[in-house]
Amino acid sequence: MELYEMTAYEAATALQKKEVTSLDLTESVLKRISEVEDIIKGFITVFDNEKVLLQAQNIDKLLAEGKEMSPLAGIPMALKDNMCTRGVPTTCASKILKEYRPPYDAHVAEKLQEAGTILVGKANMDEFAMGSSTENSSFYHTRNPWDISRVPGGSSGGSASLVAADEIFFSLGSDTGGSVRQPASLCGVVGLKPTYGLISRYGLIAFASSLDQIGPLTKDVRDCALVLDIIAGNDPRDSTSVPREKEKYAGYLGREVRGFKIGLPREYFEEGIEEPVRKVVMEAMAHCGQLGVEVEEVSMPNTLYALPCYYLVATAEASSNLARYDGIQYGFRAPEEDNLIALYRKTRNQGFGPEVKRRIMLGTYALSSGYYDAYYLKALKVRTLIRQDFERVFQDYDLIVTPTSPTTAFVRGEKINNPLTMYLSDIFTITANLAGVPAISIPCGLAGGLPVGLQVIGRPFDEGRMLQFCFTLEKLLGFKGLKPSIPAKGVLRDAS
Amino acid sequence: MNVSKKEVEHVTTLARLALTEEEKTLYTEQFNVILEYIHRLNELKLDDIEPTTHVQQLKNVLREDQARNSEKELLKKVLEEAPDKEKGYFLVPPVIE
């Protein structure tokens, strides 16, 4: 077994037992990257190998000196390229930020650095996190390691594919409407969107501020808990970060789940779902009986309205957040000598890709005079109904389980020209963002050789018990150990 | 409720974008498909429902107004990112003729 095939926990355990060094682990992932990255294309930036290896040697030195460090010290990882890293490019996969080098680190980047993890590079994504396939990156497409003609999902498609392809032990993504969970589902890895406010968004480039959350993408549930232990917690620099006592999520793993009550909302198993996906999720849930977990069908009648609600709220917020890109203070500026307004318009027109422009326009329209009540205000009211659906079910049930995505990974190019079809890919994930509740996707089986994700949704700040349930279920699912086989470089026919 | 190309043009101005004729036609078509889907919301009775602007109960998160990060080095770094600058200022085309 190659070192890069291990989970972060296995690698960290080997490190603590002094069976390997951080240098060994880092060399191993860099070797893997050199073998498969030309095919997967999950990175936008891979840092200078010498510098990355030097970092690993430093951690080895600190560990040898007996310095107390986090359980994941010395483990190589990647960040989605919308998280600021001081002095190194942070592009959001956009032409408008192509040369941008932030003067500061995001909160999560600081936390992971303090924890002694090794940042290897920045992951590809849909431009400004807008998309469900990573086809909206203005640089190149990322491929799904399970089938390279298919998309990895999005918008954190780079983060997910890198973990699935063993190019990295774990990564972070961001999730506004499913952008961590949907690619996790399509790539067969674990992806968590925490409760709104659990992780500081300081230094996360904003898309829709009332929905955005950062979350880990990992090889299994234990790794997810370990990463969450590092990045969760209050940060006064993000006023939406909730002040509460820090929990130890890894401490929930292995605890008894007998007596848990789970609701299966029927609306998530009816509209738009592919039958093989439904079947695999239901088969996974059949294990609940032997765990002493009670499963009942419930109804969340407003689910149907979540997607239209989301595309008003998210685009309205995006149109406002992205107003800052004007070519003056940082980023790309279009050549224009004479007129300030023309400079703004040319810069934004040349700097943004088609999906970003579409969403800015839709959001501007929804907020514009005469349409505010008909669109934006209406969407905010529907958001209340969706929140109430969750509150009602959580009065009687501990967790809600749904499929993560209505389909397995789709073929590149299949949905990119029809925005609405692409949006439907997030139909099961956006409700958790609108309600602000935590949700996690774990791989639960294969359909047609492609991974299927099962989504577990919890009450606000109930990540601990969600992880507890997922950890137990994961052991029974038999997905663990399954790996995609990535073709060698030479056989690549479709080089788009 | 259909959106016309003229309305799309108006939104383009509000959003400080400058689309080509082709883009305007395409976006007008796509807007209408998306908005038709969004009109699903009209099935709901919403008169007595309070809007949710935020999922959290946090209110007025305040802090002391203290100067931070004012070191010269950082200001220099911030300005380094500007596409055009002169003597410590951002440079822009003339605003007033």
Give CA–CA dist A176/A207, Å, rounded: 8
Cβ separation A332–B83 shorter than 8 A: yes
- Upper half-sphere CA count for residue A430 (Cβ side, 13 Å): 26
How many pairs of residues across A and B have Cβ atoms under 8 Å apart?
Answer: 156
Q: Are A329 and B27 within 8 A, CB to CB?
A: no
How far does the CA of residue A328 sit from the closest CA of chain B (Å)? 6
Six-digit token string for B48: 């007595």
Distance CA A127, CA A299 (A): 35
Domain boundaries in chain A?
3-267+278-298+392-484
For residues A101 and A87, give the distance between their C-alpha atoms in angstroms, rounded to a whole number: 5
For residue A337, what is the nearest residue in chain B, using CA coordinates? B93
- Give yes or no for residue B97 having a pLDDT over 70: no
The answer to whether the CB of A168 falls within 8 A of the CB of A201 is: no
B81 Cα to chain A: minimum distance (Å): 5
Question: What is d(CA A73, CA A56) in angstroms, rounded to the nearest whole number?
Answer: 9
Q: Which of A210, A327, A365 sits opposite B11 (nearest CB)?
A: A365
Among residues A248, A289, A260, A292, the alpha carbon closest in space to that of A399 is found at A260
Chain A residues inside the 8 Å CB shell of B33: 419-420
CB-CB under 8 Å, B61 with A382: no
Q: Write the residue in A352, A357, A385 that is nearest to B49 by C-beta.
A: A385
Q: Tens of pLDDT along chain A (496 residues)?
A: 899 999 999 999 999 999 999 999 999 999 999 999 999 999 999 999 999 999 999 999 999 999 989 999 999 999 999 999 999 999 999 999 998 999 999 999 999 999 999 999 999 999 999 999 999 999 999 999 999 999 999 999 999 999 999 999 999 999 999 999 999 999 999 999 999 999 999 999 999 999 999 999 999 999 999 999 999 999 999 999 999 999 999 999 999 999 999 999 999 998 789 999 999 999 999 999 999 999 999 999 999 999 999 999 999 999 999 999 999 999 999 998 789 999 999 999 999 999 999 999 999 999 998 899 999 999 999 999 999 999 999 999 999 999 999 999 999 999 998 888 899 999 999 999 999 999 999 999 999 999 999 999 999 999 999 999 999 999 999 787 799 999 877 555 544 4
Residues 200-229 of A with CB under 8 A from B: 210
Nearest CA in chain A to B80: A330
Rounded CA-CA distance A46/A31 in Å is 12
Q: What does the alpha-carbon distance between residue A187 and residue A170 come to, in Å, rounded to a whole number?
A: 13
Tell me which of A22, A28, A41, A80 is the catalytic residue: A80
Report helix, strand or coil for A172.
strand
Q: Give, in order, the Cα–Cα distances in Å from B44 to each of A275, A404, B40.
A: 29, 26, 8
Collect all residues of chain B within an 8 Å Cβ-Cβ radius of residue A267: none
Structural domains in chain B, sorted by start: 5-43 (1.10.20)
Look up residue A59 and give its amino acid.
I
Q: Where are the alpha helices (DSSP H) in A19-139?
A: 22-40, 49-64, 107-114
Residues 39-68 on A with a CB inside 8 Å of B are none
Segment holding A203, helix H or strand E: none
What span, in angstroms and rounded, lies between the C-alpha atoms of A466 and A459?
9
**Min Cα–Cα distance to chain A from B82, Å:** 4
Q: Write phi, then psi, for A298 (nearest 5 degrees).
A: -130, 175
- The percentage of chain B sitting over the pLDDT mark of 70, rounded to a whole number, equals 95
Coil, helix or strand at residue A54: helix
Q: Rounded to an integer, what distance in angstroms lies between the CA atom of residue A369 and that of residue A494? A: 47
A279 is catalytic: no
Q: Is A61 a catalytic residue?
A: no
- Please state, in angstroms and rounded to a whole number, the distance separating the CA atoms of residues A83 and A93: 11
Angle at A288 between CA A283 and CA A292, to 5 degrees: 160
Residue in B13, B16, B53, B92 to test binding to A, most A beta-carbons within 10 Å:
B16
Backbone φ, ψ for residue A128 (5° rounding): 55, 25
Q: What are φ and ψ of residue A347, in 5° steps?
A: -60, -50
Q: What is the pLDDT of residue A490?
A: 58
d(C-alpha A146, C-alpha A144), whole Å: 5
Q: Is the CB of residue A429 less than 8 Å from the CB of residue A455?
A: yes
Q: Is A472 helix (H, G, I), strand (E, B) or coil?
A: helix
With contact defined as beta carbons under 8 Å apart, do A159 and A217 qualify?
A: yes
To the nearest whole Å, the CA of B13 is away from the closest chain A CA by 8
| Shortest Cα distance, chain A CAs vs residue B86, angstroms | 12
Q: How close, in Å, is residue A414 to chain B by CA atoms?
A: 17
- Residue matched to tokens 């390691």: A145
Partner residue facing B41 (CB), from A196, A309, A436 = A309
Residue A345 at interface with chain B, using a CB cutoff of 8 Å: yes
Task: Residue window 158-187, chain A: list those with CB within 8 Å of chain B.
Answer: none
Q: Is the CB of B11 less than 8 angstroms away from the CB of A326?
A: no
Residues of chain A found within 8 Å of residue B78, distances taken between Cβ atoms: 103, 329-330
What does A226-277 look like in DSSP terms, one character per residue?
HHHHHH-B--TTSTTS---PPP-GGGGTT---TT-EEEEEGGGGTTT--HHH
Please tell me the distance from the alpha carbon of residue B16 to that of residue A319, in angstroms, as a whole number.
Answer: 10
> Would you call A495 an interface residue with chain B, using a CB distance cutoff of 8 Å?
no
**Phi and psi, residue A102, nearest 5°:** -60, 145
Residue listed under structure tokens 């329209």: A365
CB < 8 Å to B90, chain A: 328-329
Across A204-217, b (16+ Cβ under 10 Å) vs e yields: bbbbbbbbbbbbbb
Interchain pair A361, B77: CB under 8 A: no
A387 in contact with chain B, both atoms CB, cutoff 8 A: yes
Q: Which residues of A touch B56 (CB under 8 A)?
A: 196-197, 240, 242, 436
Give me the amino acid identity at B77: K
The residue whose two tokens read 């980047």 is: A109
Contact A358 B27 (CB under 8 A): yes
d(CA A133, CA A221): 24
- Bridge partners of residue A46, in order along the sequence: A121
Length of chain B: 97
Residue matched to tokens 């840092």 = A47
CA–CA separation, A231 and A91 (whole Å):
22
Please indicate if any CB of chain B lies within 8 Å of the CB of A370: no
Would an 8 Å CB–CB cutoff place A96 in contact with chain B?
Answer: no
A477 is written with which tokens? 């699912």
For chain A, the residue count is 496
CA proximity to A435, closest of A478, A384, A378: A384
Instruction: Decide if A98 touches B, using CB distance below 8 A.
Output: no
Predicted confidence at residue B67, as pLDDT, reads 81
Q: ipTM of this predicted complex?
A: 0.94
Assess whether pLDDT exceeds 90 at residue B53: no
Active site residue A241: no
Distance between CA A43 and CA A231 in Å, rounded?
22
Element at A440 (helix H, strand E): strand A439-447
Of the candidates A28, A137, A155, A241, the residue annotated as catalytic is: A155
Asked if residue A114 lies in contact with residue A135, where contact means CB atoms within 8 angstroms, the answer is: no
In the numeric block, the tokens 């959003």 are attached to B15
Task: Look at B33 and A337 and tell me if their CB atoms are within 8 Å.
Answer: no
Cα-based angle A210, A215, A217 (whole degrees, multiple of 5): 150
Does residue A155 have a cis peptide bond before it, meaning omega lies within 30 degrees of 0? yes
Q: How far is CA A53 from CA A15, A21, A22, A454, in A?
A: 16, 11, 9, 37
- Residue B54 CB partners (closer than 8 Å, separation 6+): A210, A240
A88 touches chain B (CB under 8 A): no
User: Residue A156 in contact with residue A175, Cβ under 8 Å?
Assistant: yes
Predicted local distance difference test score (pLDDT) of residue A496: 43
Residues of B in contact with A377 (CB under 8 A): 51
Q: Place domain A3-267+278-298+392-484 in its CATH homologous superfamily.
A: Amidase signature (AS) domain (3.90.1300.10)
The Cα of B97 is separated from the nearest Cα of chain A by a number of Å equal to 10
CB under 8 Å to A374, separation ≥6 — which residues?
B1
